[in-house]
Amino acid sequence: MARLSVNVNKIATLRNSRGGDNPNLVQVAKDCERFGAEGITVHPRPNERHIRYQDVFDLKKIVTTEFNIEGNCQEQKFIDLVLASKPEQVTLVPDVLGQITSNHGWDTMKNQNYLKDIIKVFKAAGIRVSIFVDPVTEMIEAAATTGTDRIELYTEAYAHNYPTNKEEAIAPYVKAADVAHKLGLGINAGHDLDLQNLQYFAQNIPALDEVSIGHALISDALYYGLENTIQMYLGQLA
């Protein structure tokens, strides 16, 4: 069964909108774990529009499952933050400054040398590394030569196409996951996975290690409640 890591960025966005500490991010993370989440994910950005750098240190003190920090490793401040907080996992995402949300994976061929160098930095600190990739065989094969421990499959295309043709939507991910598994890479996935499409994805990717879900899960929690929602997502992975 794949692990569920809850991305709490949206909780921080809500908190920041009023400038106070309601909702309290640390308490929400504790509750997510208490309700069954098997990891907490954050994706800090330079303008701190949701997760603040201090949040990372505050969460590191209390997360008892797996702490995963996503972000743009081409920013020195992000590198310093990860090395100082030492999460269990860092997920490297090729964001650009001001990007609203991640929208593509690494070109692991073009950025081969860079990825090898930066992955060495994190692994030397004892941090597991995952890199964000599109479900393209060549990118998976090149990822395997960078020294990364895992890949995270960018699932926006799957989610977009799922309502009209789920078999066609999942096909490139099945192929990509098969290649990754044969090359010895762990497999994570994330972006636009929700209660409608998660179960089918997990059923067709048997080697799936972890999913990171934030926006959809927090949105569903507005209707179903946080505890119930986490249990519903876990049920889709069972």
Asked if residue 43 lies in contact with residue 70, where contact means CB atoms within 8 angstroms, the answer is yes
Question: Comparing C-alpha atoms, which of 154, 173, 177 is closest to residue 101?
Answer: 154
Q: Rounded to an integer, what distance in angstroms lies between the CA atom of residue 174 and that of residue 207?
A: 10
* Residues β-bridged to residue 212: 5, 190
HSE, CB side, 13 Å, CA atoms: give it for residue 20: 4
For the chain, what is the total number of helices (H) and then of strands (E)? 11, 8
Q: Would you name the residues annotated as active-site residues? A: 43, 70, 191
